[in-house]
Amino acid sequence: MDATEDNLPAGFRFAGVTCGIKASGKSDLSLIVTDHPVTAAGVYTKNQIVAAPVTLCRSRTPTNKLRAVVTNSGNANACTGDQGMADARSMCDEVAKRIGCDPEAVLVMSTGVIGRPLPMEKITAGIDMASKELASDPPAFVRAAEAIRTTDAERKTVTRAIQIGQRTIKFAAMAKGAGMIAPNMATMLAVMMTDAPLSAESIKDVLTEAADCSFNRVSVDGHTSTNDSLLLLASGQGDPLVGDELLQFQSHINEVAIALAKQLVEDGEGAVHTMWIQVRGAANTDAAATIAKTIAASPLVKTAITGGDPNWGRIVSAAGYSDAKIEPTKTSLKICGEEIYRGGTPIPFDAKSLSAKMRANKEVPIELTVGEGAGAADYWSSDLTCDYVRFNSEYTT
């Protein structure tokens, strides 16, 4: 998933440095700077407990004058009160000073332990260092993506070049997150960048739709952190995309977002298998997503996937207790493409061979039809293993 020179969008420079926030000595400060003011939007955690950087970003997006995003890992700046707000602001101020822009044009994200004040001296030094190392080449992009990791086993990036009419449009995106890890409440952070021209009016809608079909459709343990943030920066100049071009762009950015979001699930704590839950026939998209989410969050479904068990009872009954309506006599289920439940009744199948198929697939497709409606939704989730339990029950506070 490494970025290549060919498909990094123009207009962005990157840096990732080590400034000593993490005891591990791994890189912990990431900086993205744009060559000129760009349009930007964000979608943020729905948790009622909100970290200071999220509050600040919310107040500064959407915007058409964004110049930089600074992110630290190792400390989430959450549950830190007034000092936390002052520190988040100060991080933006320090960046603004060095690149010569309005502090309001800078966004900030944080991830790591909560309830502790940021080590501002280290962070300021890190910002200084990063601002001197900015570069637009792929290694710089990778360094920026590395510096936002916490417990992630893998770096998460997506780069892509697509064609819309005569235009070539590029994407580069990075994310971090592998479940909520105490005391980190580890957080999902992601930045998507493109050189497409987007208006300040449309960028929020574009991002919201992309988030709804990707980051809002993945689950490791169903725990929404206090820091979750997803940003979209669009550096393209000239006439913004409209009409059919904008629609085409939307479908491409949705795919980029899904590719990035799926990396979170694949790297889920302790995950061995993932599920691709496809709900069809619901009353509408929301209903389909509600059903899919309920299945995705069921410990019994998750452990069935862990064990390679084609357990239709757990899946169908999870759909049955979701808050969305299903039609029991029109409910059918396929696992790995094989139909094992049709119209409300189990149908005979070779459990041994289907189990072998499930075990052989890293991603197990689950197709559930719940009626004859037009509502459809896809959802991705990790399984539940002893490693997840071990990882999260080790004493950490």
Judge whether 311 is annotated as a binding position: no
Q: DSSP readout, 175-213?
A: EE-SS--TTT----EEEEEE-S---HHHHHHHHHHHHHT
Q: Does 310 bind a copy of itself (CB under 8 A)?
A: yes
Question: Who contacts 114 (Cβ-Cβ below 8 Å, separation ≥6)?
Answer: 51, 76, 78, 79, 80, 183, 184, 185, 226
Catalytic residue list contains 187: yes
Residue with Cβ nearer a copy of itself (93 or 212): 212
Q: Does 392 bind a copy of itself (CB under 8 A)?
A: yes
State which of positions 203-232 bind a copy of itself (CB under 8 A): 221-226
| 102, 299, 353, 360: which one binds a copy of itself (CB under 8 A) | 299
Q: Does 313 bind a copy of itself (CB under 8 A)?
A: yes
- The span of 40-48, 132-140, 142-150, 252-260 binding a copy of itself (CB under 8 A) equals 40-48
Judge whether 325 is annotated as a binding position: no
What is the Cα–Cα distance from 7 to 172, expressed in whole angstroms? 8
Residue of 34, 61, 151, 187 marked catalytic? 187
Q: Does 283 bind a copy of itself (CB under 8 A)?
A: no
What is the Cα–Cα distance from 14 to 33, expressed in whole angstroms? 6
Judge whether 392 is annotated as a binding position: yes
Residue with Cβ nearer a copy of itself (103 or 307): 307
Q: Does 395 bind a copy of itself (CB under 8 A)?
A: yes
Q: What is the CA radius of gyration of the chain?
A: 22
Largest Cα separation within the chain, whole Å, is 69
345 φ/ψ angles, rounded to the nearest 5 degrees? -135, 135
What is the Cα–Cα distance from 264 to 269, expressed in whole angstroms? 9
Q: Does 46 bind a copy of itself (CB under 8 A)?
A: yes
Judge whether 345 is annotated as a binding position: no
Q: Does 132 bind a copy of itself (CB under 8 A)?
A: no
- In the bound complex, what is the minimum distance in angstroms from residue 37's beta carbon to a copy of itself? 34
Residue with Cβ nearer a copy of itself (224 or 254): 224
Residue with Cβ nearer a copy of itself (51 or 95): 51
3-state helix, strand, coil in the chain (%, to 5): 35, 30, 35
Q: Does 316 bind a copy of itself (CB under 8 A)?
A: yes
- Tell me which residue of 215, 40, 38, 29 sits closest to 109, measured CA to CA: 29
The DSSP 8-state label assigned to residue 76 in this structure reads: -
- Under a CB-based contact definition with an 8 Å cutoff, are residues 316 and 334 in contact? no
- Kindly tell me the burial class for residue 360, based on how many C-beta atoms sit within 10 Å of its own C-beta (0-12, 13-18, 19 or more): exposed
Residues at the annotated binding site for substrate? 150, 176, 187, 269, 392, 397
Binding site for a copy of itself (CB under 8 A): 46-50, 79, 81, 114-115, 179-180, 182-183, 185, 221-226, 297-300, 303-304, 306-314, 316-321, 325-326, 328, 331, 344-346, 351, 355, 384-386, 388-390, 392-397
Q: Annotated catalytic sites, by residue?
A: 187
